Amino acid sequence: MASYIESFRFGEFIGSVLWLVFWILIIFSLVGLPLLFIVLFYVPLPPLGDEPLTPYLFLTMIVDPTRTIPIIKYMIHTDLFRVAAFPGFTYAALFAAVTIFVERKFLAKMQLRYGPLYVGKIEGWLQLAADGLKLISKEIIVPAAADKPIFWAAPIAFVSVAAAAAALIPVAPGWVVADIDVGIIAVFAIFGFFPLIALLFSWASNSKYPFIGGLRALHQIIAFEIPFIISALSVVILAGTLNLTGIVESQIASYWFVFFLPISAFVFYLSSLAELERIPFDLPEAESEIVAGWITETSGMIYGLIQLGTYLKLYALAALFVVLFLGGWSGPIIFPQEIIPGYTGEKIYNPVTLSAIFWFTIKTFGVIMLMLLPRGISPRIRIDILLHTGWYKLIVLSFINMFVALALIYGGILGPEGLLVR
Amino acid sequence: MATLEEKIEETRRLGLQVVKETEEDRLMTLSIGPQHPGSGHFRFTVKVDGDYIVYCDPDPGYVHRGEEKMCEYRNVIQNIPHLERPVIHDSTNVTYSYSLAVEDLMGIQVPRRGQFIRAIASEMNRQVYTLYWLAIYGIFLGHSTMFMWPAGDRELFIDLLERLTGARVTHAYNIPGGVRNDMPEGFKQRCLDHINYFEKRLKEYEDIFYNMPLFRQRTEGVAVLSKEDAVKLGVTGSVLRASGVPYDIRKVEPYDVYNEIDFKVQYMKTGDSFARSYVPFLDMKESCHIMRQLLDKMPQSGEVRTKLQPNPKGPAGEAYRRVESGRGALGYHIVSDGTPKPYRVKISVGSFRNMLALPFLLVGNKLADMPAVYWSLNYWPVEADR
C-alpha cells in the first residue's frame, strides 16, 4: 500500500529530521521556556506538601518524575477531573467511541462482512475519527420553517442530559461525580427528559416525518418507563437504599441481585433497549417507514451530537444495569499490592480502586455487547405490538419480581441481618 | 347545556368566525417517494388518519425510458441489450420471452442443448433477482442481517453467470436462435457445488428470518388478498400464488424444456403479507431442484445456437410469448411488417399488475405496515415504467 517518491534518499531524510529537531530545540528554549515561566508565574499552583509549588520546582519535575506524584494526586481529586475526565465525560465518551467501533465490527462479523477496514491500517480502528471529522466539516442545514432556537438547543440538551445520567453512576468506591442519596430517582428523573427533547426537536423541525417520529418516541418511552422504574424498584426494596453506591455495597454484602431478580433484570434490559431506541425498538427512527424519524432534519454536527448522546445514554443504561443487578465494581482484587518493590515514597497506585474500575468496565462492556446483539438478529416491531408489550406484559412481569423481593425481605433471607448477608 | 348549533350561533353573534372541522382536516398527506428510503424509483401518496392509512395513490413513471418505442428503431438482435435494462437483476428472463416471440415470428428452431442452457441461466437469474428482493424486504423490516446475507449469497449465482456469459449483471445471453455461447469447462460441477451450499444457506434464512416471532407478528394476517380479489385484480407471480392460485407459466404454458422437468408449483393459501414473502423463498428451493434436473438431462454436446442472417427478417405477422420471471408472467407481443425492425413491441410485465393491488391492500392498514405490504408485492418500479 505504501508508496515512496522516486527521489527518496535515506540520508537526506535523516538530515531533515535532525534539522527539524535542532530548530524545535532552539525555538523551545528561546520562546517556549520564557512563555512557560510567564504562565506559571500568573497561574496559582497547588501547594506541594509543605512548600508552595514554584515554577522552578515545576521544572525539576521534568528530570525527576517521582516529584510529579503529589501534584497528580492533587489533580485527580479535584472536581474538575471528576467531571471532565474520570468517571465523568471523557470516560463515558471513550466508552461510547469504543462501543461504536465494536458494534460495527461485531455486526459485520455476524453478517459475513468486514466492517471498517482501511482507516488506521489495522482493522479500521480510526474509522470513528474519520467519521467525526467528516461530520464536523459538513454543512449544518436548518430547515427554513424550523423553530431555530429549539432546533439548535435540542441536540446540545440531548448530549448534556445523557452526560448528566452518566455522572450519577458510581464506577469504583468513592469514584462518582455526584453521590446523592436519591441517586436512582435522580437517574429516572433525568431519563424522563429524553422523550421531551425528542418531541421538542421533532416539533421544531417543522416537518411531517420528524413529527411522526417524535410522537412515536413519546409513546414508546412513556410505555416503557413504568416497567423500567418498577423493575428497579424491586432492587431498591432488596437494598433498602436509593443511593447507587449503597445498592452496590449491599450486593457486595450479600450476592448479586440478578440471582434473586432475574425477571426484573430481563424487564430492565428490554426497557433499556426501548429507551435507547435500538432494534427491535427503533420505531422512532424507522428508516423504511418514516425516513429517519425524529432526526430526519439533522445534518452535520447536530447529527453527530445526537449520535454521541445516544451512545452516552447506552453507556449510562448499561452501567446502571451493572450497578443494580451485577454488583457494580465487586470482584476479586487482581492487581498486585505494589508495582515497584521497596518503594516508600508517596503513591497514587491503589490496587483496590484499580480492580474495581477493571471489573466495572468489564461488566459494563459485557452488558453493552448484550444490548448490541438484537440488532443483528431481529426485525423492527410494530407500534401496536410495542405498546401492548410495554403496557400489558412488561408491567405484569416487573410486578412479579417486586413481590419476590418483598417475600425475600419479610422471609428474613435478605435485608438487615438476613440469612444470605455475609 | 347548549347544543353545538347554539354555541356556534352565539360565537357568530360575538363577531367571531367559526369553521367546522371536516374529515379532511384530520388527515395528513405523506408523499412516500421518490426520495423516501422506503420507496425505490416510485412514488405513492398516502393519507393517514392517526396511524391508519385511509387513502393511497400510486404514481409510477419516474424511470420511464421508452423501451417499447426504442424497439422500433433497432433490429431484433440490437434490441437485446437495451431490453434487459428495466430489470438488470433478472436480465435473462426478460430477454427469454422476447427471444421466444422472435423465434415464433421467424420460425427458428433452437438446438436442444441451447434450450437447456437457456433454462439453467434463467433459473439462476431468477435466484439472483429473488435474493435481491429478499435482501430489500429484510432491510425494509429493519432486519439488517437479512439484508447482508442474501446480498452476499447472490455472488454464488452471479459468479456462475459470469462464467457462463462473461458479464455479472446484464448478460445479453438469450438471443433469437439460442444462447450467445456454450458452457465453459467444468461448469456443471461448480454449479452443483454452489447449489449445495446455497441450499444450506436457505435453511439458515428460514431460521433467522421466517421463523422469527417478531417477523411473523408483523406480517401474518396483514393485508390479506383473497383468492377472488387476486384474480379480479389480475396480479401475477408470487402474489397470485400466495393467495392460493397455483398458477405458474412454466406449468400452464411450458416453454422450451420445462415440460420435461418434474417440479411442483409452490403456493400458499393465506394470502397475507407473510405468504407473499414466503412463496418466493419456496420458489428458490424449488428452483435448486429444477436446476439439478436440468444439469442432469442436458445433452453433453451439440449446437447451442441457430445462426441467423446478419440483419434477420421474417414474414409479416405477430407473436406473443411469455415466461415466468421473478415477478410473474412477463410477455412480449411483437408485430412485424416484414422489415428487420419490429413494427411494434408491447411488453407486459408482472410488476405493473402487482402494483395495482397496492392501494387495495394498503388502505386500512397502519403506516408501519407500509414497507411490509409494499415490498411483499414483488414490485420492481423500473420494470413497471419500462
pLDDT in tens, A386-397: 888 888 888 888
Average pLDDT, chain A: 84
In eight-state DSSP terms, residue B366 is B
Q: Is residue A89 part of a domain?
A: no
Render the burial of A231-262: b for 16+ CB within 10 Å, e for the rest: bbbbbbbbbebbbbbbbbbbbeebebbbebbe
pLDDT greater at residue A79 or residue A230: A230
Q: Is the pLDDT of residue A46 over 80?
A: no
Q: Is the pLDDT of residue A146 over 70?
A: yes
What is the arithmetic mean of pLDDT over B235-249? 89
Q: Is B142 in Cβ contact with A287 (below 8 Å)?
A: yes
pLDDT greater at residue B357 or residue B15: B357
Residues whose CB is less than 8 angstroms from the CB of residue B216 and which lie 6 or more positions away in sequence, other chains included: B210, B274
Radius of gyration of chain B (CA): 24
pLDDT greater at residue A60 or residue A248: A248
In B, which residues are within 8 Å of A288 by CB distance? 37-38, 139-142, 370-371
Average pLDDT, chain B: 87
Q: How many domains does chain A have?
A: 2
Q: Is the pLDDT of residue A1 over 80?
A: no
In A, which residues are within 8 Å of B141 by CB distance? 288, 379-380
Q: Is residue A104 part of a domain?
A: no
Shared domain for A303 and A213, answered yes or no, is: yes
Q: 3-class SS at B265?
A: coil
Q: Is B369 in Cβ contact with A288 (below 8 Å)?
A: no
Q: How confident is the model at residue A21 (pLDDT cuts 50, 70, 90)?
A: very high
pLDDT digits (tens, 9 = 90+) for B64-78: 888 889 989 988 888
In A, which residues are within 8 Å of B139 by CB distance? 287-288
What is the arithmetic mean of pLDDT over B160-174? 89
Backbone angles phi, psi at B170, to 5 degrees: -95, 105
Expressed as residue numbers, the domain containing A71 is 17-77
Q: How confident is the model at residue A45 (pLDDT cuts 50, 70, 90)?
A: low
Task: List chain B domain ranges.
Answer: 4-55, 63-365+372-385
In this predicted structure, what is the pLDDT of residue A147?
Answer: 87
Q: Is A291 in Cβ contact with B141 (below 8 Å)?
A: no
A289 → closest Cβ in B148, B208, B371: B371
pLDDT digits (tens, 9 = 90+) for B356-377: 888 888 888 888 888 888 888 8
- Global pTM reads 0.83
Q: Is A379 in Cβ contact with B214 (below 8 Å)?
A: yes
Question: Which of A413-417, B1-5, B152-156 is most confident?
Answer: B152-156
pLDDT greater at residue B80 or residue A77: B80
DSSP for B119-153 reads: HHHHHHHHHHHHHHHHHHHHHHTT-HHHHHHHHHH
B149 → closest Cβ in A111, A283, A287: A111
Look up residue B66 and give its three cell numbers.
421508452
Shared domain for A59 and A148, answered yes or no, is: no
Look up residue A197 and give its three cell numbers.
427533547
Render the burial of A34-56: b for 16+ CB within 10 Å, e for the rest: eeeeeebeeeeeeebeeeebeee
Q: Is B369 in Cβ contact with A382 (below 8 Å)?
A: yes
Say how many Å lie between the first and final Cα of chain B, rounded. 63
Q: Is residue A97 part of a domain?
A: no
B28 → closest Cβ in A208, A377, A381: A208
Q: Is residue A359 part of a domain?
A: yes
Rounded to a whole number of angstroms, the distance from the CA of A190 to the nearest CA of chain B is 29
Rounded to a whole number of angstroms, the distance from the CA of B214 to the nearest CA of chain A is 6
pLDDT digits (tens, 9 = 90+) for B244-280: 888 888 888 888 888 888 888 888 888 889 999 999 9
A383 → closest Cβ in B38, B217, B368: B368
Is the link from the previous residue into B371 a cis peptide, with omega within 30 of 0? no
Q: For the domain covering B63-365+372-385, report its CATH number.
A: 1.10.645.10
Shared domain for A25 and A156, answered yes or no, is: no
Question: Which of A275-284, B32-41, B327-336 is most confident?
Answer: B327-336
Ramachandran area for residue B223 (φ above 0: left; ψ -120 to 50: alpha; else beta)? left
Rounded to a whole number of angstroms, the distance from the CA of A113 to the nearest CA of chain B is 8
Whole-number percent of chain B with pLDDT over 90: 18
Q: Is residue A43 part of a domain?
A: yes
In this predicted structure, what is the pLDDT of residue A69?
Answer: 76
Between chain A and chain B, the number of residue pairs with CB atoms below 8 A apart is: 84
pLDDT digits (tens, 9 = 90+) for A272-310: 898 888 888 888 787 777 888 888 888 888 898 998 899
Pairing of strands B328-336, B344-348: antiparallel
In this predicted structure, what is the pLDDT of residue B195?
Answer: 92
Write down which residue in A34, A56, A77 finishes a domain: A77
Sign of CA dihedral B21, B22, B23, B25: negative
Shared domain for A241 and A349, answered yes or no, is: yes
- Among A287, A289, A297, A381, most B C-beta atoms within 10 A, so best to mutate, is A289
A40-49, A193-202, B97-106 — which is least confidently predicted?
A40-49
Q: Is residue A124 part of a domain?
A: no
Q: Is residue A122 part of a domain?
A: no
Q: Is residue A324 part of a domain?
A: yes
In this predicted structure, what is the pLDDT of residue B312?
Answer: 85
In this predicted structure, what is the pLDDT of residue B379?
Answer: 87
B368 → closest Cβ in A376, A377, A382: A382
For residues B215, B217, B219, B223, the Cα torsion angle rounded to the nearest 10 degrees is: -170
- Among A111, A219, A279, A288, most B C-beta atoms within 10 A, so best to mutate, is A288
How many CB atoms within 10 Å of residue A284? 26
